[in-house]
Structure 1
Amino acid sequence: MTLSGALAQQAEACTALGSPFMGRMLPLLAKVWPAGSALDAAVQAFEGDLGPSGHSLPLRLASGLHALVLTGQDAGMIAAYPPNDVSDEVLKTVLTSALSQHEAFLIQWITSPPQTNEVRRSAVLIAGAHALVKRTGATQVHLSELGASAGLNLMFDQYALTAGDTRLGRENAALTLAPDWSGPAPVTAPFTVTDRRGVDLNPLDPHNTDHALRLRAYLWADQAHRVALTDAAIRVNNAQVDRSDAVDWLEGRLAGAPQGLMHLIYHTVAWQYFPPERQATGTALIEAAGAQATSKTPLAWLRMEADGAARGAAVTARLWPGDHHIALGRADFHGRWVDWTDDPT
């Protein structure tokens, strides 16, 4: 796929995910792209798919440009970016200037893969955890997140969820998620998190200025509500995310899991990035641990992952003892809507 094609494909995806600015800016970026420049050479050095299913160069470039705005490095870009509204010609002019003046910054920026921590995905983690606790009667939960990034979704028990007339979470929650909810209301089953830990190949520390910039830069400039949620999550974050291969880490995490509580393993839009052989090994590890689970020490595997369907991600779970396969519902990849189907009553 050419860079122009990748930018067009990403623009379509961003528009579908509620960002008209990204849908407009990325095709304009293709029109002013500096062919033959050092930045162009850096992009062309990537082998394979440049688009959303591969290296995601459009998102890397867009986040680098957004970082220039967030750090105040380019006055022209600041004036042209939301909440300001300018013509396509003005936007093309400032993009052309930024690509030239900040070439070295952008070349360095795109060397790292995209990394976000979409807090709104915690809506299905909150509802899913309550559903699994309801089934097991567990009151204490041990959390293990795969592909945890900065660990913001490791703190989901500190957030609240409103789904119609139902509210889950503490009154003094750090933030409240309110996706468009359809289907039965989520069940309420209070629990306490006794331990939380995650793993990522390249974990970010949200309290590190450079890392926090990367988190915010990958949020789209016309979606200020996502920035507000991320900032609120960062303020209460104290989760630890280890740097490791997720499956290797999981093997040790399973071996050291305490007795007498529910171990909840989960991931959101991360499993698809694991190589097939790692997926197979990870599945085997979880199934082997599940075979040893008891009613007093249940094991749950909660997933929000793409399944090839045209709309959103599947929210599913497996629960031991018994290896129950549970279809909980579907959700927008950014958590804007949830179509819940679980009704254990």
Structure 2
Amino acid sequence: MAMKAMTDGREALAHQAELCRSTGSTFVAKVLEAVGRHLPLAPISSRMIQGWTGDLFAAAVALRINGALHALARRGKPQSLADLYSGEHDDFDGAIAEALSQEDQFIADWLRHPTQTNEVARGAAIMSALMTVAAERPMPFQLLELGSSCGLNLNLARYAYRLGSVSAGDPASAVCIAPHWRGADPPAGEVSIAAARGVDLSPLSASDPTHRERLLAFTWVDQPARLERLEAALRVAVAHPPEVHQGEAKLWLERRLAEPQPEGVCRAVVHTMFLQYLTDRDRHEIAAMLATAGARATAERPLVEIGLEWTSDRREVQLRCTRWPTGESTVLATCHPYGDWMEWHGPQPAQSVRPSTDAAMVSEVEVTESGAADTVRLPSSSRGSEAYQRTPVTTV
């Protein structure tokens, strides 16, 4: 059953604070609770929230405010807020009240833009799904990502992974992703990325200091490992810029799915924590678009959709893989929203993928036009990745 939409600002702040506390982010929870108590001190922001069209929780309005406050603290404005974030004191009410009253317009400006976490730890979910598909039928992947943000997960082949006892990716990478793993290991299929492209309404660039600062501000201050991983991924993106197009995912995906697909290449539409920002109509249209493309898929030109998304009742985040030409849909894992842990429910090594009885997911993938990047082959093994081979990419 779908969760009732939240239209009250204080309710949305309290609910997000509860979720933060349940995942160990007590500092962020206290920040949001203080915002709920003192929001009237920021009349512009308060009016925006109370007049919000749609679901405040699905739009991550509370996290937009949290990002704005973190950005202010990183700028030292006001000093009491910066001191709170650096651990100099714990007067949440005093510091938050001062920030709301002094920086109302700044906060309101942040409310106008969606969150841009671009959490690279979610790449572990995408990688494990790709490994599962590759284990059954090895062929290179053409990635199309919806909601790419800065495109950091388009570089997933350049990161190191530890998925249970399975190692994958580049063992020399400065970006190491090792979620707490529950359940059996995933199948250790060899992943080869032929092209990776993405789309976003407001794409960010790792080379732009303002964009980098926005990404860092949206990362929760009491999760230093996430901040360190993000900074490392940004350095990789500066050296290997991902291809992210600006545009509406639905229109962009329609064009990409209409492009010729080379024989022997698996087209993979991927998205992480993206569908919640779409209207019901857009979700249905994307689902229909994928079903139509899936009807054209063949064993030599398959299509997969891989999504890491909240369930409709927002009780858990699921990693789901839908594959065509069969149309089978499988829940591979349940996951922490930011990738801290994964519980594997999918096939184990030497098993084939089993379809679930759930409906196929709808995904938005933001993809770039040319796919001009290196093709990266990713060996996976329970002994660790001993080989890492790059070959010239073919544009598809």
What TM-score results when the alignment is normalised by the length of structure 1? 0.90
- After superposition, the C-alpha distances for 1:65-92 in whole angstroms (9 at most, x for unaligned) are 110122233322221114x1633xx232
Which residue pairs with 1:113 in the alignment?
A: 114
Q: How does 1:169-248 map to 2 (within 5 A)?
A: 169-237=169-237, 238-248=241-251
Partner of 1:11: 17
Matched, 1:123 2:124: yes
SS at structure 2 position matched to 1:114: coil
Cα deviation per residue 1:162-181 (whole Å; 9 max; x = unaligned)? 12322111211241111111
Q: Work out which of the residue numbers 269, 278, 297 in structure 2 matches 1:293.
A: 297
Change (3 A) 1:123 1:34: same
Q: Do the aligned partners of 2:41 and 2:100 also contact (CA within 8 Å) in 1?
A: no
**Which of residues 331, 336, 340 in structure 1 aligns to 2:335?**
331
What is the aligned partner in structure 2 of residue 161 from structure 1? 161
Gaps of 5+ in 1: none
RMSD: 2.1
Report the residue type matching 1:108 in the other structure: D
SS in 1 for 2:21: helix
Give the partner amino acid of 1:287.
A
Q: Are the counterparts in 2 of residues 61 and 106 from structure 1 also a CA contact under 8 Å?
A: yes
What is the CA distance between 1:309 and its match in structure 2? Answer: 5.7
Q: SS at 2:39's partner residue?
A: coil
205-214 vs 243-252, greater mean Cα deviation: 205-214
Q: Distance in 1 between matches of 2:276 and 2:314?
A: 16
Counterpart code for 1:268: T
Query: Amino acid of the residue matched to residue 164 of structure 1?
Result: G
SS of match in other structure, 1:33: helix
> Is the deviation greater in 253-262 or in 229-238?
253-262
Question: How far does the alpha carbon of each residue in 1:317-342 deviate from its partner, in whole angstroms, 9 at most, with x for none?
Answer: 12223223233121111111111122
* Secondary structure of the corresponding residue to residue 32 of structure 1: helix
Specify which structure has the bigger relative contact order, considering alpha-carbon pairs within 8 angstroms and separated by 6 or more residues: 2
Aligned match of 1:144: 144
Give CA deviations for 1:8-52 in whole Å, capped at 9, x if unaligned. 112111112321001112212223334474443444443454x32
Structure-2 change in CA distance of 1:294 and 1:30 (3 Å): closer
Q: Relative to structure 1, is the Cα distance of residues 247 and 48 closer, same or farther in structure 2, using a 3 angstrom cutoff? A: closer
1:257-315 per-residue CA deviation (whole Å, 9 max, x = no partner) reads: 43031111111121233222322222222222222223322211111122246653121
Give, in angstroms, the shift of residue 121 of structure 1.
0.8
1:52 aligns to what?
A: 57
What is the CA–CA distance in structure 1 between the aligned matches of 2:69 and 2:228, rounded to whole Å? 20
The one of 37, 41, 66 aligned to 1:31: 37
2:100 is aligned to 99
Distance in 1 (alpha carbons) for counterparts of 2:266 and 2:54:
42
Q: Which contiguous aligned blocks of 4+ residues in structure 1 show a shift greater than 4 angstroms?
A: none
Alignment of 1:251-330 (within 5 A): 251-260=254-263, 261-308=265-312, 311-330=315-334
SS in 1 for 2:141: strand
2:30/2:92 contact within 8 Å kept: no
Check whether the contact 2:143–2:268 (CA below 8 A) recurs between aligned residues.
Answer: yes
1:46 and 1:288, CA in 2 relative to 1: closer, same or farther beyond 3 A? closer
CA contact (8 A) 2:128 2:186 kept: yes
How far apart, in 1, do the equivalents of 2:75 and 2:19 lie? 26
Of residues 248-257 and 94-103 in structure 1, the stretch that sits farther from structure 2 once superposed is: 94-103
Work out the percentage of aligned pairs sharing the same amino acid: 30
* Shift in alpha-carbon separation, 1:188–1:117, aligned structure 2, 3 A: same
Q: 1:294 to 1:25 in 2, by over 3 A?
A: same
Q: For this pair of structures, how many residues does the alignment match? A: 339
In the alignment, the residues of structure 2 paired with residue 338 and residue 162 of structure 1 have an alpha-carbon distance, to the nearest angstrom, of 12
- CA apart distance, 1:99: 2.0
